[in-house]
Amino acid sequence: MSQVDSRPERPLLYPDWLQALRPVLLAQSEPVFLVGGIVRDIVRGAEGHDLDLAVARRGMRTAYKLGNALEAPAYALDKARDVGRVVLPGTTIDVARFRGETLVDDLMDRDFTINAMALPAAAEQASELVDPSGGLADLQNGIIRQVAPTALTSDPVRALRALRLALQLNFAIEPVTWASIAAARPLLPDVSPERLRDELVTALLLPEPAAFLEQLALAGLASHLLPPLADTTAALLTNLARLEAACDGADATALGLPAETMALLAAHWARPVDGGYSGRLPLRLAALLSHLAPAQAEKWLRDYRFSNEVCRHVRLVVAEQGRLLALLPAGSPDRRQIYRYFKGVAAAGLDIAALTVARQLPGEAGSANPADSLFSLAATLAHHYQHHFSDTIAPTPLLRGDEIMQAFALQPGPLVGELLARLEEEQAAGELKTKKEALVFLSASLNS
């Protein structure tokens, strides 16, 4: 369990990014309070990333003023609750009006005691902590405790948050709160899909997503939120998390993939994805849903209002997840085979390879054989994707459709598209390098 130094006069240590923001917060005409997870992280000495603020009035207006001062975009996040958001590189600032008449009213309306603490923006000492529900003691003792008996039933998504926080912080859920999780279970259908999605996403991106699935099942929530899972789903997610950690540099050589391949995968998973996610999310969703039919996987995603980009990408990975194994008997693939592997899947081909490799990883104590043909094949594909994309994966056409129609007196139609496709494959295979060679090839194709 995490321990917290609770000496009343202990100086507060703010993260550098937050310390840089404090002068702007202190310049506001109304007192500004730090609330929620950022306070928990400051008290623990952990590095928080997002900032929740509370003010007595005019939450959205304060957000806009902060945005102007920071030269950052700001918008209304929840007009009914007077909540505004400021978007900064790498972080967001949410500013909300008190939930009630006073700051204490606001804190007592929150989910868990460890999240129901506040600090004035000007605070320099831990003794200035506002803690009406005993959150500091629970933080010291590693306990997840609801603030009020109705905290979870009044907002059932908090049941998921309790499980996620317990895993994230390595805390224990106290018995009364655990009972409230069960009481909140039948109320989950009343929660908007978007809010459930957001909590599921945060949990799935934890270092140990399989542990979250286990806790969901133990709490009786899994059947309300997830499709039936395969027996291998937890192991696949665990291995995938190991692969991601290796690619991020935490275990640079243990899994038997070249450093170049792992760096490419890490960059691929760090790419932005529509919805405010990184590429790591669709990969983990594909692992979660890989045992389903592609249409079932897509329906589950759309029910939770995932973006079109996420839905299409995950469906593609699920539908084509056998591609790498199908290529394995070829041994060392030539350029044509590499082109065909990526044709129609593009970047999803990297996730298909990653899922296949993750399925083959040995147990925690084992290490992969660098000479393993599957790992070698994945490395070869990644190398071509990184270094020969414009040659092997998506070559620039030597001829346009109108040039083909003019050269061979063709009318617009499917034949022109077929000829373009043949031409692209021959280019990718390295058989054609000039327009003249392309015309000779197409002439032979038309006359055969």
CA separation for the pair 229, 217 (Å, rounded): 11
User: How high is the pLDDT of residue 1?
Assistant: 40
User: How high is the pLDDT of residue 369?
Assistant: 52
User: How high is the pLDDT of residue 344?
Assistant: 94
User: How high is the pLDDT of residue 10?
Assistant: 80
pTM of the model: 0.88
> In degrees rounded to 5, what are phi and psi of residue 118?
-140, 155
pLDDT digits (tens, 9 = 90+) for 221-272: 999 999 999 999 999 999 999 899 888 875 555 567 788 888 899 999 999 9
CA separation for the pair 249, 266 (Å, rounded): 9
Q: Please, what is the end-to-end C-alpha distance for the chain in angstroms?
A: 74
DSSP per position, 288-334? HHTTS-HHHHHHHHHHTT--HHHHHHHHHHHHTTTHHHHHGGGSS--
User: What class has domain 1-141?
Assistant: alpha beta
Which range has the worst mean pLDDT, 10-14, 21-25, 182-186, 205-209?
A: 10-14
Which tokens belong to 144? 């997840």
CA dihedral 288, 291, 297, 303 (to 10 degrees): -60
Helices H / strands E in the chain, number of each:
22, 10
Matching residue, tokens 């997830």: 226
Where are the chain's structural domains? 1-141, 227-393, 401-447
pLDDT digits (tens, 9 = 90+) for 140-168: 999 999 999 999 999 999 999 999 999 99
User: How high is the pLDDT of residue 66?
Assistant: 93
Apex 234 CA angle, 230 and 238, nearest 5: 145
String of b and e for 4-39 (b: at least 16 CB within 10 Å)?
beeeeeeebebbeebeebeebbeebeeebbbbbbbb
Whether 206 contacts 167, CB under 8 Å: yes
pLDDT digits (tens, 9 = 90+) for 41-70: 999 888 888 899 999 999 999 999 999 999
